[in-house]
Structure 1
Amino acid sequence: MNRDVIIVGFGLAGLCVAEQLQRQNQSVVVISDTSQQSSRVAGGLFNPVILKRFKLAWKADDQLPVALDFYLKLQQKLSQPFLKMIPVLKRFESIQDQHNWNKAIRKPELESFLTPKIQANDNAALNADFGLGRVAQTGTVDTNALLNAYISHLESLDSILRETFDYDKLDIAENDLQYKNVKAKKIIFCEGFGVLKNPFFNWIKIQGNKGEYLIIRSSKLNVTAAVKSSIFIIPLGNDLYKVGATYERDHLTQTPSVKAKNYLIKELNALITWEYDIVDQVAGIRPTVSDRKPVLGQHPQYKNLYCCNGFGSRGVLMGPSMAKVIVDNMLCGHTVPKELDVNRFN
């Protein structure tokens, strides 16, 4: 099997890189097992504003149009809807919270996202006595459905191998490389938290951050926007909602915990008034970086090895833009910005 690029790992980073490469007429093969689940269990919400501090997320105004164009074209390509534009409603907990919102709407970088008028709560299912603030240009991507559909696309091209990557089987030459029966020009590792086991890139300072969600069912909740309090409620349709998430830097397993479940139930009970049933609990480990920037670039010694990692909890928003940066670097030699370059850790 001959391919231009081998992609190791298939979460949002691997998918975005695969699609950006194919848009440049590059042939790919993806090698992935199911060891990393953070992209599949993610909330899938994209929101350019950090509501805890009322500030714009890093380069979110640049990343948002790229992401929307990317997912809209993917919907057409795969003939399946994944993208849903829904507002985010910030629940105010006090008069001071309202004052902070009124200050934030005057920031030039936020004026296109934050709606000035405070919205009265008209949903009896929500505890929101101080009202709600509406965030525009937000929505969700059904990451699990997207990943499954893209796997079917790769299968139609005979371009996916479902196996654990064996680093000892990678033979690196100056102008090409060989992995088992696959010959390629380049390889890129998109392994998320799993990169810590990668002997070529295990010096990257990736930190695990465990996130857990509850899936609940409530026929009377009737929430059509994503509601943000201490936690998010994200509507999934058919009376199902995703509730989360937690942030845990210890006990980094992908097994759901009682501690997280109890925390989410406590916060949810303070936010809504209607009864609900817990349908499921899911967990994954986000790959995060201390400076909160992604990690992209070329290996310092092996020039046909690359990595794309460190999206944290904002992979849906930043993934398409970051994939374009690394693909332009791989194919055209465009420089990766220093703040993103993998070699800032070397």
Structure 2
Amino acid sequence: MLVDYILVGQGLAGSILANHLINAGCSVMVFDDPLLSNSSKIAGGLYNPVTGRKMVKTWNADNLFGYLTDYYPKLQQQLEADFVNDIPIYRPFISPEELNEWMGKSADIDYSRYVQAVHNSSAYGSQVSDDFGGILLNQSGFVDTGKLLEVSAKFLVERKSLTKGYFNPAHLKLEEGFASYQGIKCKSVVFCNGHKSLEEQYFGWIPLRPVKGELLIIKTKENLRVIHNRGVFVIPLGNGLCKVGSTYDHQNLDEKPTIEAKNVLVHKLNELVKFPYEIEYQLAGVRPATKDRKPIIGQHPKFKSLISFNGFGTKGVSLVPYYAKQLTEFLTNENGIDSEVNIERFFSLY
């Protein structure tokens, strides 16, 4: 069997890259082991142009959001499913100084496109603690990543482009200009397998810094029309359910929910919201973050038919579409990969 590309992993990275390659006229075979972890299935799915404690524009926001706001609606249409939710994010201010800072930033062309409103007094005081007002962001929302993966799998199955089962790198055969695996010959094998790449022979050296994240699903009678985000995010899922997250644990990298993380999330949630709620259940997963918080994309230093598409961490929903487009152009037209995400920046570690 001959295909253009083999992809390892059908998480968010593998699903969206496969879609880009197929739309570019390429044939793919995606290998996915349902028994292995997949942090994409339980991710918060948030896309947010202003992030962090200091509330600054996320890295490369103009390129990322300029592309994803166009791409995701088209992907929904192609996959005939709804999984994207455009919802404003409301971030309460914690001081008058922060309010004053954002009164100025909202007029700055670098930020104005992402700011729907700056409130100088409480705007959602019945729901959250916002004595100093807050900022309402646009070009924001969340992707139901579980639904996206489900319909992407169906899309691939219909094209006979998905194999369920473990991909064993030890069985790869590499020759000049191509690779083969279990009778399938291709131009390149793209590893989109998150932190599991650390366990295999070809990309085990890349400096991933896996981080465990835990989420709560809560139920409330409060009618939430925005995503509240300060300390934790509270995403309204419908039917009174909300997703609350997230924690960051670099030490304990199993996928079991912990009481410690639950207590942290409840404490932060109670500091933010005023409405009553009940905890339905708790989730945990391990994200493939990196030490410099940027993806790791490009060819293996020795085996040019092997490609890394990894390290998207907590912002995969924002990062993956733009860089899937860039990698597709690299593979099909030999266009360059941005130096900030290019795997070449870590070749000294190989």
Partners of 1:274 and 1:288 lie apart in 2 by 33
Q: Corresponding residue for 2:41?
A: 40
Is the contact made by 2:124 and 2:130 (CA closer than 8 Å) also made in structure 1?
no
Instruction: Give, in angstroms, the shift of residue 287 of structure 1.
Output: 1.2
CA contact (8 A) 2:5 2:28 kept: yes
1:176–1:304 CA contact under 8 A, matched in 2: yes
CA drift of 1:308 comes to 0.5
Counterparts in 2 of 1:119 and 1:144: CA distance versus 1, 3 Å: farther
Cross-structure match for 1:305: 306
Q: 3-state SS of the aligned residue for 1:324?
A: helix
Q: Which moved more, 1:61-70 or 1:22-31?
A: 61-70
Alignment-derived partner of residue 329 in structure 1: 330
Q: Could you tell me how far 1:122 is from its partner in structure 2?
A: 4.1
Deviation digits for residues 45-94 of structure 1, max 9, x if unmatched? Answer: 11111252232111111111211222111111111111111100001223
Q: Which residue of 2 aligns with 1:118?
A: 120
Q: 2:133 aligns with which of 123, 131, 134?
A: 131
Q: Deviations over 1:291-331 (max 9, x none)?
A: 22111101111121111011111111111111111111112
Note if contact 1:119-1:133 (Cα within 8 Å) is conserved in structure 2.
Answer: no
Aligned pairs (5 A) from 1:1-346? 1-34=1-34, 35-114=36-115, 115-118=117-120, 120-219=122-221, 221-346=222-347
Q: How many residue pairs were aligned?
A: 345
Distance 1:305 1:51, change over 3 A: closer
SS of the residue 1:195 aligns to: helix
Question: What displacement does 1:129 show?
Answer: 2.3
* SS at structure 2 position matched to 1:2: coil
SS of 2:189's equivalent in the other structure is strand
Amino acid at match of 1:199: Q
For structure 2, the residue ranges without an aligned partner over 5 or more in a row are none
Cα distance in 1 between the residues matched to 2:214 and 2:341: 27
Give, as a single letter, the amino acid of the residue that structure 1 aligns with 2:272.
Answer: L
Describe the SS at the equivalent of 1:248: coil
Q: What whole-Å deviation, never above 9, does each CA across 1:8-57 have from its counterpart, x for those lacking one? A: 01111111110110011101111011423221111111111125223211
Root-mean-square deviation (CA, aligned residues, Å) is 1.5
Q: Write the distance in 1 (CA, Å) between the matches of 2:121 and 2:51.
A: 19
Distance 1:118 1:51 in 2: 21
Change over 3 Å in CA distance of 1:159–1:97 after alignment to 2: same
**Percent of residue pairs bearing the same amino acid type:** 35
Any gaps of 5 or more consecutive residues in structure 1? none
Contact 1:36–1:191, Cα closer than 8 Å, also in 2: no
CA displacement at 1:130 relative to structure 2: 2.3
TM-score by length of 1: 0.95
Query: What amino acid sits opposite 1:124 in the alignment?
Result: S
Q: Deviation string for 1:252-279 (max 9, x for gaps)?
A: 1111111100111111122223321211
C-alpha distance in 1, partners of 2:163/2:299? 24
- Report the residue type matching 1:175 in the other structure: G
Structure 2 CA distance for aligned equivalents of residues 132 and 50 of structure 1: 14
Pair 122,189 (structure 1): closer, same or farther in 2 beyond 3 Å: closer
Higher mean C-alpha deviation, range 90-99 or range 166-175:
90-99
Q: Secondary structure at the match of 2:112?
A: coil
Distance 2:113 2:78 in 1: 30
Q: What is the distance in 1 between the residues matched to 2:313 and 2:108?
A: 26
Say if 2:197 and 2:204, in contact at 8 Å, map to a contact too: yes
The amino acid across from 2:110 in the alignment is E
Q: Tell me the distance in 2 between the aligned counterparts of 1:116 and 1:125.
A: 17
TM-score normalised by structure 2 residue count: 0.94
